[in-house]
Amino acid sequence: MKIKNLIAATYTPLLADGSLNLDIVNVYSSFLQKNMINGVFVNGSTGDFSSLTVEERKLIIDEWGKQRSDDFFVINHVGHTSLEVAKDLTRHCVDKVDAIATLAPYYFNVPNLQSLVDYCSEIAACAPNLPFYYYHIPVLSGADFAMVDFLKLAEDQIPNMAGIKFTKNDIIDFRYCKNYKDNKFNMLYGVDEMFLSSLPYEATGWVGSTYNHLAPLYYKIIEAFENGDYKLASKLQTKSMQFVDELNGRGGFNGAGKSFMKVLGIDCGPSRYPHKTFSDAELDEVKAIFEDIDIMNYTSKI
């Protein structure tokens, strides 16, 4: 099984009091599927996993697990600073998801590539029948190794190694990983603002936060690229960049992106510290800017 197409890194929906809003997950899932999203990456950076309790992470994946189907994948990120907690999270979701993923421990950093493989191997072994993905996001994890070298080690030491969620602006390493042993591993590209750059290098799957908001835009980019209209594809990609830059410049993308879901009809509630939650007035202001630069015509629809 190779996971393909757009996979949304989901926000963790909260109520006004800061507790989980599990009741909205079904509506959230329907919204994504209506916009041709083929799956979700739950409990990741977009979902503020590091601000959640272990019990909350279990509850949220319990709910998303109910949304699985032949056409809708559920991937659970189980990474943690504690290897034992990561293993517990893995065992909890064995019968609820289509795949698991982990980033590297991000407080005490792994000293070398073999140490990282050892960490991943212990987690993957807790769900031997599930595909395992390494979540490569060095800007947050601090583990900055060439992923093609990781694959060379991991393929013999992690039997259920399936691929990498590749969240680094390094298209060269991504390409080497894609080419390794004739596309043996499923490479999921994870830099939304560089989506177009992945297309000439045969990317077929993507995981990102802006697929929650702009799924129609990315399908238009693919269409323009496949039609050879590279000027249009570049113009559309710029809209993705502007979307991220505008929200990021207003206190950080995580909180801004989560707040903006309310404009699209999915109220994911407040963000947890240190991320900012936007007021309705701030959302109206941002929406007006996006209307002026023709981004709202490419947003996902409820």
Quickly count: other Cβ atoms within 10 Å of residue 266's Cβ: 21
Residue 135 designated active-site: yes
Q: Are 79 and 44 in contact (CB under 8 A)?
A: no
CA 198 – CA 190 distance, rounded (Å): 10
Average pLDDT over residues 260-268: 98
Terminal Cα distance for the chain, rounded: 29
Handedness of CA 72, 138, 149, 110 (dihedral sign): negative
Handedness of CA 132, 137, 142, 145 (dihedral sign): positive
Residues making up the chain, counted from first to last? 302
What residue ranges define each of the domains in the chain, with the CATH number in brackets? 5-213 (3.20.20.70)
Residues 89-114: tens digit of each pLDDT: 999 999 999 999 999 999 999 999 99
Q: With a threshold of 0.95, does the pTM exceed it?
A: yes
Peptide bond before 105: cis, by omega within 30 degrees of 0? no
Residue 4 designated active-site: no
Among candidate residues 28, 119, 133, 135, the one labeled active-site is 135
Q: What is the pLDDT of residue 223?
A: 98
Residues 170-199: tens digit of each pLDDT: 999 999 999 999 999 999 999 999 999 999
Q: What is the DSSP string of 85-144?
A: HHHHHHHHTTTT-SEEEE---SSS--SSHHHHHHHHHHHHTTSTTS-EEEEE-HHHH---
What percentage of the chain carries pLDDT values higher than 90? 99
Among candidate residues 165, 168, 178, 220, the one labeled active-site is 165
Q: Is the pLDDT of residue 122 over 90?
A: yes
Q: What is the pLDDT of residue 2?
A: 83
